[in-house]
Amino acid sequence: MAVKTLQDLISEGVAGRHILVRSDFNVPLNEAGEITDAGRITASLPTIKALSEAGAKVILMAHLGRPKGQVNPKFSLAPVATALTDALGQYVALAGDVVGEDAHERANGLTDGDVLLLENVRFDPRETSKDEAERGAFADQLVALAADNGAFVSDGFGVVHRAQASVYDVAQRLPHYAGGLVQKEIDVLKKVAEAPERPYVVVLGGAKVSDKLGVIQALAQKADKVIIGGGMCYTFLAAQGINVQQSLLQEEQIDKCKELLEEFGSKLVLPVDLVAAASFAADADNKIVPLTDIPEGWMSLDVGPETVKKYAEVLATAKTVFWNGPMGVFEFAAFANGTRGVAEAIINATKAGAFSVVGGGDSAAAVRQLGLDEAGFSHISTGGGASLEYLEGKTLPGVAVLES
């Protein structure tokens, strides 16, 4: 069965109807509680605007951080409500709870075109419960906010790989539709997963190799080259007998990395030099070193310039590029050059005709933080884990439920 879309819903008519929308507003905040990267909010606006302008009573559901089922002001969606108010040019009220009295009063008081944001759905432990009955009970309370003629729009791509109440169980209880953001993400990733133009190059970074082993295994079978950087590259280097000193290392994964190198050695592209640092700090003493020359007691926090050149040469041949994960600690200026260099190489490949996808998460944050041109990439995903799992070939519960 084909997934019904936002346009299908609007064509059916939404004026006067309560429409529950699962968005992804899991944005980074600084110590002062200010949003440091509003990318996910910006990406959600077209769907919200389309529903509001068509006369829907829009009720937004989302989470922020990991409050572990407890009400925690640190994870309140208040900054998101303010950002949405500014971006939409209309007041977006924040309910004082998720499915309590205030949420119901505000939902009942909505007029056509109004937008209401519920408080963090993860303040309720049932949102992420493994118990289907508990999630179902919470979903029933969320659905009750939509009254008798409601509908559900899934527009939080960053959470569709989770079978959670506001993503999965609500969709089972209401007429359900894919929002514009989710629809676009799936269309783009399907192109990469099913029919990539070759050469197809995957760039993987990030901290832990254990988080990406399945991805490397799956994508090495599909891609022509897999470039590996970030914290996870040190376990691969250790598997080659290199002493990575105090660099991030998962010793229990060394044998698995050896297996991957034996199986896919010709496809895996690893660093040839590194930026070593005396400590994990923005102002740490640092120097560029060959792989075998990390000073004793030091650590590597980025790939070196020769590595960037090597990676850029591979990327220059690509017709399809998928990138997930920074090459180093890009948050520190001294260790951002690897990520910047690889991103610029992907932009150059895109200008030369490649189809490039930035796979959400830290990669998308890096693009914005480093001041790179977002238009230089074919697509910047809003879902890191979801995009990786889709490319791995896993079933995404929040997408599968829309097909039922």
Q: Is 103 a member of any domain?
A: yes
Q: Which of 180, 359, 376, 385 is catalytic?
A: 385
- pLDDT at position 145: 97
Q: Residue 351 burial (CB < 10 Å; 0-12/13-18/19+)? A: exposed
With b meaning 16 or more CB within 10 Å and e meaning fewer, what string describes 139-169?
A: bebbbebbeeebbbbbbbbbbbbbbbbbbbb
Range of the domain at 104: 6-182
Q: Is 388 a member of any domain?
A: yes
What CATH number is attached to the domain comprising 283?
3.40.50.1260
Mean pLDDT across 234-262: 96
| 231 annotated active-site | no
- pLDDT at position 214: 85
Mark whether 84 and 214 lie in a shared domain: no
Q: Read off the pLDDT of residues 156-174 as tens digits, 9 standing for 90 and up.
A: 999 999 999 999 999 999 9
Tell me which residue has tokens 């992804």. Answer: 24
Mark whether 300 and 175 lie in a shared domain: no
Q: Is 397 a member of any domain?
A: no
Report the domain count for the chain: 2
- pLDDT at position 169: 98
Mark whether 261 and 379 lie in a shared domain: yes
Binding-site annotation: residue ranges for ATP: 212, 331, 360-363
- pLDDT at position 210: 82
Q: Is the pLDDT of residue 1 over 60?
A: no
Q: Read off the pLDDT of residues 193-228 as tens digits, 9 standing for 90 and up.
A: 999 999 999 999 988 788 888 889 999 999 999 999
Q: Which of 40, 225, 267, 310 is catalytic?
A: 40
| 208 annotated active-site | yes
Mark whether 52 and 144 lie in a shared domain: yes
Q: Which of 39, 158, 338, 361 is catalytic?
A: 361
- pLDDT at position 37: 87
Q: Is the pLDDT of residue 100 over 90?
A: yes
| 40 annotated active-site | yes
| 230 annotated active-site | no
Q: Is 399 a member of any domain?
A: no
Q: Is the pLDDT of residue 150 over 80?
A: yes
Q: Which of 119, 154, 182 is the last residue of a domain?
A: 182
Mark whether 237 and 318 lie in a shared domain: yes
Question: Half-sphere exposure of residue 199, counting CA atoms within 13 Å on the CB side?
Answer: 15
Q: Is 372 a member of any domain?
A: yes
Q: Read off the pLDDT of residues 356-404 as tens digits, 9 standing for 90 and up.
A: 999 877 898 899 989 999 999 999 998 888 998 998 889 999 999 999 8
Q: Read off the pLDDT of residues 342-351 as tens digits, 9 standing for 90 and up.
A: 999 999 999 9
CA atoms of 329 and 366, how far apart (whole Å): 10
Q: Is 262 a member of any domain?
A: yes
Tell me the pairing of strands 18-22 and 151-154: parallel
Whole-number mean pLDDT of the chain? 95
Mark whether 239 and 132 lie in a shared domain: no
Tell me the pairing of strands 18-22 and 57-61: parallel
Mark whether 121 and 176 lie in a shared domain: yes
Q: Which of 182, 209, 234 is the last residue of a domain?
A: 182
Binding-site annotation: residue ranges for (2R)-3-phosphoglycerate: 40, 122, 162
Q: Which of 191, 208, 222, 258 is catalytic?
A: 208
Percent of the residues in the chain that have a pLDDT greater than 70, as a whole number: 100
Mark whether 166 and 278 lie in a shared domain: no
Binding-site annotation: residue ranges: 24-26, 40, 63-66, 122, 162, 212, 331, 360-363
Mark whether 168 and 234 lie in a shared domain: no
- pLDDT at position 187: 92
Binding-site annotation: residue ranges for substrate: 24-26, 40, 63-66, 122, 162
Q: Is 404 a member of any domain?
A: no
